[in-house]
Structure 1
Amino acid sequence: MDVETFPWMDEQELIASVRREVAHALNTRCTLTLEQAGSLEPHERSALDYGLPDLRPLGPAAADARHLERLIARAVEAYEPRLRQIHVSVRIPPEEEGAPVAVITARLAQEAIAEPISLPLRLDRSGRLVEVDGEG
């Protein structure tokens, strides 16, 4: 899919728009199971699959962190076409050490903006997005 340019937005407005859309996608729960969401390629998802599945079954294990990374990356790739080369890292600490943290790094698919952006995510213990922090 071609991504149209947004000449009326400067770089900061574009990054703020991307941040809002990523937050909306990650705060929305779809009806897919964890397995279904993990097996669908981003291009196979539709508006009915918008968002992330219920993440409560995921725990603090490293395998669950990797699964969450994949789910976040696939949702962002499916529903935020202005981002390319998406990479997600998640750290799920023991409960007594605090909430999970994640960082999305990607490149904007806009010709005038070539630099990478980073979107730190604050999550609650269930993996639900609390906030997309930081500046691009």
Structure 2
Amino acid sequence: MTKGQLESKLSELFSKFEIEYMGRGPKTIRTYIINDIIIFRLSGILSPSEEKLASSPQGIELLKKVRTSLFEGGRGYLETLITDFIDVAIVSTHSDISTKTGEKIVVITVDKNLEEMCTVK
């Protein structure tokens, strides 16, 4: 599998997680592999009601807490989707959401250099 194919499949898996666990998928998702790091960049993830909620400092704080709690609750499912697809162990998972842009970044580190596993870089 090429690096591009791996990134594409991981994007599909992350989109599946967002739809099945979070209730809706992002407008766009890009996945980047750099050595032992997987970076997911999602845009258009906030619902219209979440965008309205993010118009005040208290709403931003509440939105971030709820989104973080939801993600942490489903993190095991996401990690299982990834480890069932590629033979790696998850070392750590980090995420953050921008309430200004509606963008979410998730960074996952694994125990192997994924670029070396690909046939073409």
What interval of TM-score do these two structures reach, taking the shorter chain for normalisation?
0.3 to 0.5
Q: Which has the higher contact order (CA 8 A, sep 6+)?
A: 2
More helix by share: 2
TM-score by length of 2: 0.44
More strand by share: 2
TM-score by length of 1: 0.40
